[in-house]
Amino acid sequence: MDRDPFKTASERVIRLYEMRLKPYLGSEKTRKQLFIAGSFAAGCLSFVLFMDMIVMPIYLREGLEIQVPDFLNKSYEDAYSIARSHRLYLITDGREYSDDVQADRIASQRPLPGTLVKPGRRVHLTISRGPQILKVPDVVGKSPRDAEFELRETGLIVAEKRYRQSRRYPPGVVVDQRPKAQTEALPKTGVILYIAK
């Protein structure tokens, strides 16, 4: 005759409880230990809830976020006044050339304008040096290909190639240029090359 395995297992659990656990739980010492352990666990849980619901929101200033103002195209002095009124700190990361922003104005910022941040946050700025001024290289006496390569390396472009007679240079050599060598120019300024024919 087969015995029910579940019944057998439940009988073993009941027997184990009766023989080992019940006498253990019945002693005064065990009840004190369980009370202390339960009190400790409840205290830990209360502490965690207190930190999560009261202390951390105060520490993180929850609900006090402010929007980062737009500092772009402003002078550093104006940006500093605005940042102070918003309780933000400015950090200057450096200066770089910009074709779009005039010299000594703010060219970029991190975090971007409109970003929500906590008071006391640092805003990183890059100050514009204005457009980069280049010196036009001297390409007279060079082949058109070498002249074009040198102009491109400098940040300029060949706007046009014109041909004219020259007694001084052989055909296929640059005999003149506009603007002239050592003239100051902005990046991507077009240079006209005059080539001997």
Q: Render each residue's pLDDT in the chain as its tens digit; 197 residues.
A: 456 665 677 788 777 767 776 666 667 777 788 788 888 988 998 888 888 887 776 666 556 788 999 999 999 999 999 999 999 999 999 999 998 899 999 999 999 999 999 889 999 999 999 999 999 999 999 999 999 999 999 999 999 999 999 999 999 999 999 999 999 999 999 999 999 99
Question: Is residue 122 located within the same domain as residue 164?
Answer: no
From the number of C-beta atoms within 10 Å of its C-beta (0-12, 13-18, 19+), residue 76 rates as middle
Residue 175 and residue 151 share a domain:
yes
Strand partners, 75: 105
Give the distance from CA 189 to its chain's centroid: 32
Q: Which residues pair with 126 in a beta bridge?
A: 94, 108
158 close to 191: Cβ distance less than 8 angstroms: yes
> Of 128, 157, 178, which marks where a domain is finished?
128
The CATH number given to whatever domain includes residue 184 is 3.30.10.20
- Clarify whether residues 55 and 19 are in a common domain: yes
Q: Residue 152: which of 171, 169, 139 has the closest Cα? A: 139
The pLDDT, as a whole number, for residue 80 is 95
State residue 165's pLDDT score.
93
105: which strand partners? 75
pLDDT at 93: 94
Domain end position, chosen among 44, 60, 76: 60
116-117 and 66-67 as β-strands: parallel, antiparallel, unpaired? antiparallel
Q: What is the pTM of this model?
A: 0.53
Domain extent, residue 152, equals 134-196
State the total domains in the chain: 3
Number of neighbouring beta carbons within 10 Å of residue 177: 21
